[in-house]
Amino acid sequence: MTAAATPQANVQERRRDLGETLLALKDQRQKTLTTYCHLTGVSAPDQSVADGMKDIAPVALQEFLNIMVDYIAMGHFSVYQRIIEGKERRGAVKQAAEVAYPGIGETTDVMVEFNDKYENFDGASSDQAVLKEDLSRLGEMFAIRGELEDEIIEALLG
């Protein structure tokens, strides 16, 4: 292999790896949203959680929390960290990140707070109403985050 071919091969390999990482992130997001919808009984995360929703079982909530935390971590450590550290040189990606990061940071904060609040949830009836309100807000955060992530993904793939 010639010296001139090596940089091109590295670029192609990085693009392939990036594509695989972004696909994995989108898959993890879909898994998180699907689990959320099953947990709440809604068909889309931006719908309001119904007042008549059945009580949430602690085991089901813990499964959801684990999946959600994996999703948050994957986005941060697999995609956003590279941009945050300044390793991304493309202007379109930097610009998309400047616009999207404040909202992604806000949604991350809400998701982490939700996880912290409910990581020891015991299913008590007295806590169910507040949980349902918090799940409704969380659904709104998923919708916002998905749109913002898609902007960054589009820039990265662009």
Q: For the chain, what is the radius of gyration of the CA atoms?
A: 18
- Domain limits for position 126: 5-157
| Predicted local distance difference test score (pLDDT) of residue 27 | 97
Query: Confidence class of residue 35 from pLDDT cuts 50, 70 and 90?
Result: very high
- Give pairs for 97-104: CB < 8 Å, separation 24+: 97/152, 97/155, 99/151, 100/148, 100/149, 100/151, 100/152, 103/144, 103/145, 103/148, 104/75, 104/80, 104/145, 104/148, 104/149, 104/152
| Predicted local distance difference test score (pLDDT) of residue 45 | 65
Query: Which CATH number do you get for residue 137?
Result: 1.20.120.1370
d(CA 40, CA 114): 15
Give pTM, 2 decimals: 0.85
pLDDT digits (tens, 9 = 90+) for 56-95: 999 999 999 999 999 999 998 888 887 888 778 888 988 9
| Predicted local distance difference test score (pLDDT) of residue 122 | 94
Question: What is the domain count for the chain?
Answer: 1
66, 141, 46: which is closest to 103 by C-alpha? Answer: 141
d(CA 80, CA 71): 12
Identify the residue whose tokens are 């898959």.
27
| Predicted local distance difference test score (pLDDT) of residue 51 | 53
Lowest mean pLDDT across 6-10, 97-101, 139-143, 152-156: 6-10
d(CA 13, CA 65): 33
What average pLDDT does this structure show over 100-124?
Answer: 95
Q: Tell me what percent of the residues of the chain surpass a pLDDT of 70.
A: 91
| Predicted local distance difference test score (pLDDT) of residue 47 | 59
Mean pLDDT of the chain: 88
Helices (H) and strands (E) in the chain, counts: 5, 0
